Amino acid sequence: MKITVNVWRQQDAESKGSMVPYVLDEVSEHMSFLEMLDVLNEQLTLEGNDPVAFDSDCREGICGTCGVVINGIPHGPEVTTTCQLHMRTFKDGDVIDIEPWRAGSFPVIKDLVVDRGAFDRIIQAGGYISAPTGSAVEANNIPVPKADADHAFEAATCISCGACVAACPNGSAMLFTAAKITHLGLLPQGQPERDSRVLGMVEQHDAEGFGGCTNIGECTAACPKGIPLDTISRLNRDLLGALSRQTIG
Amino acid sequence: MTSTPNATGDVTPDAPTGASSETETEYHRLGEDIRDTAAPSGPIERRWDDRMFGARLVNPANRRKIKVLVVGTGLAGASAAATLGEAGYQVETFCYQDSPRRAHSIAAQGGINAAKNYRNDGDSIYRLFYDTVKGGDFRARESNVYRLAQVSVNIIDQCVAQGVPFAREYGGLLDNRSFGGVQVSRTFYARGQTGQQLLIGAYQALERQIAAGTVTMNTRHEMLELILVPDAEGVERARGIVVRDMVTGEIESHTADAVVLATGGYGNVFFLSTNAMGSNTTATWRAHKKGAYFANPCYTQIHPTCIPVSGDYQSKLTLMSESLRNDGRIWVPKNKEDAEKDPRDIAEDDRDYYLERIYPSFGNLVPRDIASRAAKYQCDDGKGVGPGGLGVYLDFADAIERLGRPAVEAKYGNLFDMYARITGEDPYERPMRIYPAVHYVMGGLWVDYDLQTNITGLFCAGEANFSDHGANRLGASALMQGLADGYFVLPNTLADYLAGSPFEKIADDHPAVLEARQAVEERLQKMLAINGTRTVDSIHKELGQIMWEYCGMERSEEGLTKAIGLIRELQNEFWTNVKVTGTNEELNQTLERAGRVADFLELGELMCIDALNRRESCGGHFRAESQTEDGEALRHDDEFAYVSAWEHPAEVGGKPILHKEPLEYEYVEMKARSYK
Ligand SMILES: Cc1cc2nc3c(=O)[nH]c(=O)nc-3n(C[C@H](O)[C@H](O)[C@H](O)COP(=O)(O)OP(=O)(O)OC[C@H]3O[C@@H](n4cnc5c(N)ncnc54)[C@H](O)[C@@H]3O)c2cc1C
Ligand code: SF4
Ligand code: FES
């Protein structure tokens, strides 16, 4: 099929960017979205032009490296990662807009590539359980009710892609932050640092310039891993508890 | 060589007939044998304790004066860096992704082995050791494998303490499953995302150390050279690396007291593999060219249940869990003419369930390499299905009838969804198509028992080294090895080395540093200047086709010789006709790929030379000339029970030098595999 793509081209962080149209004459419906971009890049290279920079690595929907805004929707029209979207979702003659994540805290590096370093820094601020190597007790000495373990696992499946931020009108990273709070907060091992974790992570979240959550829910709708909105309620409960204990303490 | 079946049905090769080896062939020279000088002797169950006790210690107060570079922050690198940081060393880490949490380890699905024996089903450290040595087709070191089995139990404890959400039973205890054809249930898992959860655990431990200031992380930095500096006695030591900042193009040098490479596997030499797009050999290959031996490069694992190629735009292959073979039945049409038909219109009598036919006792559950090769033979025979005739059916119709659709959905639902998403076909209605794909490499940098390469001060961990899997890796054992290396082995053995440090500080303008930087810069400029007519990907694809055809599931003298010639031509094509657009001083993904492909082109040649030298079939290496009458792999223990450790020739265009490390088996008796 014939596809026209309008791609955001931006030489580097300082330059101004713009949308540039390209036409692809032979797109197979079996191609993945990123394979379609590979084909475009081969074409551009042979013409002596600079290929489009975009991030991807696993191309299996698990590493969270890929992610662009497709026709205004982070990761495109299906609830999945960009790398798992296939061209059969589109039809002959379609025009597709492709842009990078738009968020102040994710500056554009080049074309469709953005800097998501803020996510790592939120984790550094408390998104872990302190368990130095060698200090662990026998694993089955810590039984975890299956329901808690399953819920913790679901929250832990966040791939840190950033679609939630790109989808949020406030540019908030609350869903990402809450997924980690939920994962670790549901486990007995995570209890000792529960207060310091939520305080540290939320403070870092705000310091990075991410916006506040006003319960719009666009994040969950765009999340390829279906991280639920109630993780944010859990974060808020933990935060209130921690703040009150901090005041009392 | 002849073989004699023994009472258990296993086949014992006859006594060695004396090794014959030429000192020089057309493709290589023979060097001196090597021995792992760090390996302890004595009872196997005491060796690791003895080694730890014998290791020198570093005073905690001195540790912060000692610096270690860890290149690669997948399971092996992140666990090592976090642990070294906790111990108080100054650690600097590097990865090519934008975050350590995206390393390729994240994609591992199935699980991680550990000899916990929670199921009381007869598992033990000894049994895990035994299974791994046997699974590796007697080409791994006993001492290493035993240690791996020993620390496996600590890994699970460590991961649970960090909050890794492994699957649990209703009572709240950890669940296990059986995996990869073993008879005990020793695999721990987190639904189909075990690698992801383990990596996030290690990543969080690493981020904690970054916050604590013990670790400095450099994301989007690619290592392009190793820096060696001779010490006062003239011993060349690994003292640093040269990296490229992938955002600005800046070339940086970093120096330290020791260097650890944990940069993963090189399966992408085949272009198409289940590895991530960026997985590469550059760090290990650069180290090899600086003197580090590359061991067993030809040992490749090819996984039978991947989604077939759909067109020439294909960029990577997707693995589907091998558990599918528990209930799916594999077949091809008996008649070539039916290959194009809708499979549902092919009558039962016209289907060949070839694995069930050839291997009646194991059927669809034969080991990975056998299942892969059998699929290849069917397709070579013209019976393959789907695009290009490169596929076989994996059919769940019987399972759906026997168990009901809901049961099949509960067990395999996510895999079926993934298949449907990628192929656009509904596997509940129509048999899946599968085909083998490159999945893992057992080869890597040669290391001793301490995980130190033959270059003093250069250590190597995870898939990047060759250490524990011999000629074939068992399912769920790579994650185990990566974490064993990183959490438990390296922190101890590296300490022994670092006890002799801090070494003399290396200035940024030291001649060795300047020379390494200059080499990197010249190489980058050279690639940018060619401005030919071939894209990097087109050359990479061509290399992949050569490797897959001649150094894939079946290798022969004729094919390998041909491949070496073709690869040499392609190397020349690359360096005269590749087109790399843009400049170095920017984010330039074409330039990144070009550098990796240049190294793959050299590694591919060495893989073929290694495969050519090994005139036996073992594990993931099948030589057409070395098979039994009924087509099974035939090892030659008398001639080839050694590790092939390759030294890069000093002179340009010289032949690689083969050093043999003899393998001895004191505990597990060498037997031939039999699955008939
Ligand atoms: C699809 C799939 C499924 C698998 N499933 C299982 C399973 O169920 N069980 C199992 O045990 N094993 C499994 N494996 C194998 C296992 O996942 C890998 O062998 C293992 O995770 C490798 O870990 P690692 O730390 O050695 O390397 P990786 O995780 O690959 O990490 C490599 C690191 O090195 C960095 N790096 C690479 N090159 C450079 C460079 N030049 N400069 C700087 N940094 C660099 C990368 O950025 C990364 O941080 C699977 C593999 C695949 C492909
Ligand atoms: S919460 Fe969802 S959308 Fe946000 S980073 Fe995690 S996986 Fe991506
Ligand atoms: S490339 Fe890994 S999630 Fe898309």
Judged by CB atoms closer than 8 Å, whether chains meet at B165 and A131 is answered as no
Residue listed under structure tokens 């655990």: B201
Judged by CB atoms closer than 8 Å, whether chains meet at B424 and A30 is answered as yes
Q: In the prediction, which pLDDT does B673 show?
A: 75
pLDDT over threshold 70, residue B9? no
Report chain A residues whose CB lies below 8 A from the CB of B160.
136, 139, 142, 189
Residues A104 and A46 sit within 8 Å (Cβ to Cβ) = no
Sign of CA dihedral A49, A55, A57, A58: negative
* Mutational test site, ligand 2, from A69, A161, A218, max ligand atoms within 8 Å of CB: A161
Q: Does B368 qualify as catalytic in the annotation?
A: yes
Residues B427 and B397 sit within 8 Å (Cβ to Cβ) = no
- Burial grade of A88 (CB within 10 A; 0-12, 13-18, 19 or more): middle
Question: Which tokens in the block code for residue B351?
Answer: 């289907």
Sign of CA dihedral B607, B574, B266, A34: negative
Q: How many CB atoms lie within 10 A of CB B652?
A: 5
Q: In the prediction, which pLDDT does B153 show?
A: 98
Ligand 3 contact, A160 CB (< 6 A): no
Q: What is the 3-state secondary structure of A164-212? A: HHHHCCCCCCHHHHHHHHHHHHCCHHHCCCHHHHHHHHHHHHHHCCCCC
Closest Cα to residue B318, out of B436, B195, B475, B462? B436
Identify from A58, A105, A142 which residue to disrupt to test chain B contact, counting B C-beta atoms within 10 A and taking the largest count. Answer: A58
Judged by CB atoms closer than 8 Å, whether chains meet at B98 and A11 is answered as no
DSSP reduced 3-state for B508: coil
Q: In the prediction, which pLDDT does B507 show?
A: 96
pLDDT over threshold 60, residue B169? yes
Distance CA B221, CA B71 (A): 9
At how many degrees (to 10) do helices A194-207 and A174-185 cross? 170
For the segment B67-118, what is each residue's pLDDT rounded down to a tens digit?
Answer: 999 999 999 999 999 999 999 999 999 999 999 999 999 999 889 999 999 9
Judged by CB atoms closer than 8 Å, whether chains meet at A110 and B581 is answered as no
Q: How many CB atoms lie within 10 A of CB B25?
A: 14
Distance CA B607, CA B620 (A): 13
Which band of pLDDT confidence, cut at 50, 70 and 90, is reported for residue B8? very low
- Point out the residue among B98, B205, B424 whose CB comes nearest to the CB of A116: B98
The pair phi, psi for residue B445, each rounded to 5°, is -65, 140
Distance CA B259, CA B224 (A): 14
Ligand 3 contact, A156 CB (< 6 A): no
Distance CA B324, CA A4 (A): 39
- Burial grade of B412 (CB within 10 A; 0-12, 13-18, 19 or more): buried
- Ligand 3 atom 3: residue of nearest CA: A61
Distance CA B662, CA B657 (A): 16
- Ligand 2 atom 6: residue of nearest CA: A158
Distance A163 CA to ligand 2 centre (A): 6
Q: In the prediction, which pLDDT does A246 show?
A: 86
| % of chain B surpassing 90 pLDDT | 88
Q: Find the helix or strand (DSSP H, E) in which A7 lies.
A: strand A3-9
Question: Which tokens in the block code for residue B374?
Answer: 């059998």
Residues B281 and B599 sit within 8 Å (Cβ to Cβ) = yes
- Point out the residue among A125, A131, A138 whose CB comes nearest to the CB of B211: A125
Residues B102 and A62 sit within 8 Å (Cβ to Cβ) = no
Q: Which ligand is nearest to the CA of B301?
A: 1
- The complex's ipTM? 0.98
- Sequential DSSP letters for A18-44: EEEEEEES---TTSBHHHHHHHHHHHH
Closest Cα to residue B504, out of B252, B230, B292? B230
For the segment B268-295, what is each residue's pLDDT rounded down to a tens digit?
Answer: 999 999 999 999 999 999 999 999 999 9
- Burial grade of B138 (CB within 10 A; 0-12, 13-18, 19 or more): buried
Which band of pLDDT confidence, cut at 50, 70 and 90, is reported for residue B340? very high
Report chain B residues whose CB lies below 8 A from the CB of A48.
579, 581
Q: Which ligand is nearest to the CA of A229?
A: 2
Judged by CB atoms closer than 8 Å, whether chains meet at B79 and A133 is answered as yes
Judged by CB atoms closer than 8 Å, whether chains meet at B102 and A146 is answered as no
**Active-site hit among B47, B368, B614, B673:** B368
For the segment B605-626, what is each residue's pLDDT rounded down to a tens digit?
Answer: 999 999 999 999 999 999 999 9
Judged by CB atoms closer than 8 Å, whether chains meet at B116 and A139 is answered as yes
Sign of CA dihedral B161, B177, A144, A173: positive
Judged by CB atoms closer than 8 Å, whether chains meet at A120 and B315 is answered as no
Distance CA B566, CA A6 (A): 40
- Could you identify the atom of ligand 2 that is nearest to the CA of residue A157? 7
pLDDT over threshold 60, residue B10? no
Question: Which tokens in the block code for residue B410?
Answer: 């509960």
C-alpha pair distances (Å), B200 with each of A131, A227, B400: 14, 16, 36
- Nearest chain B residue to A197 by CA distance is B208
Question: Which tokens in the block code for residue B479?
Answer: 């994650």
Q: In the prediction, which pLDDT does B414 show?
A: 83
- Point out the residue among A30, A44, A64 whose CB comes nearest to the CB of B310: A30
Which band of pLDDT confidence, cut at 50, 70 and 90, is reported for residue B5? very low
- Ligand 1 atom 38: residue of nearest CA: B263
- Point out the residue among B86, B203, B313 whose CB comes nearest to the CB of A35: B313
Q: Find the helix or strand (DSSP H, E) in which B204 lies.
A: helix B194-212
Ligand 1-lining residues (CB < 6 angstroms): B 71-77, 94-97, 103-105, 107-112, 194-195, 222-223, 262-265, 274-275, 279-280, 282-283, 319, 439-440, 462-464, 476-479, 482
For the segment B115-145, what is each residue's pLDDT rounded down to a tens digit?
Answer: 999 999 999 999 999 999 999 999 999 999 9
CA distance B563 to chain A (A): 26
Ligand 3 contact, A63 CB (< 6 A): yes
Backbone dihedral region for residue A176 (phi beyond 0: left; psi -120 to 50: alpha; all else: beta): alpha
Average pLDDT over chain B, rounded to an integer = 94
C-alpha pair distances (Å), A197 with each of A91, A194, A237, A242, A243: 47, 5, 13, 9, 12
Which residues does chain A have with pLDDT short of 50?
Answer: none
| % of chain B surpassing 70 pLDDT | 97
For the segment B203-243, what is each residue's pLDDT rounded down to a tens digit?
Answer: 999 999 999 999 999 999 999 999 999 999 999 999 999 99
Distance A63 CA to ligand 3 centre (A): 5
C-alpha pair distances (Å), A5 with each of A97, A106, B294: 6, 23, 45
Report chain B residues whose CB lies below 8 A from the CB of A46.
533, 535, 579
pTM of the model: 0.96
Judged by CB atoms closer than 8 Å, whether chains meet at B165 and A153 is answered as yes
- Could you identify the atom of ligand 3 that is nearest to the CA of residue A83? 4
- Ligand 1 atom 33: residue of nearest CA: B72
Closest Cα to residue A2, out of A77, A91, A64, A85? A91
Distance B266 CA to ligand 1 centre (A): 10
Report chain B residues whose CB lies below 8 A from the CB of A204.
none
Max Cα distance, chain A (Å): 67
Which band of pLDDT confidence, cut at 50, 70 and 90, is reported for residue B411? confident
* b/e A184-206 (16+ beta carbons within 10 angstroms → b): bbbbebbeebbbebbbbbbebbe
CB contacts < 8 A, A to B, total 213
Q: What share of chain B is helix, strand, coil (3-state, %, to 5)?
A: 40, 20, 40
List the domains of chain B with CATH numbers. Answer: 303-439 (3.90.700.10), 509-640 (1.20.58.100)
List the domains of chain A with CATH numbers. Answer: 3-110 (3.10.20.30), 116-248 (1.10.1060.10)
DSSP reduced 3-state for B316: coil
- Burial grade of B12 (CB within 10 A; 0-12, 13-18, 19 or more): middle
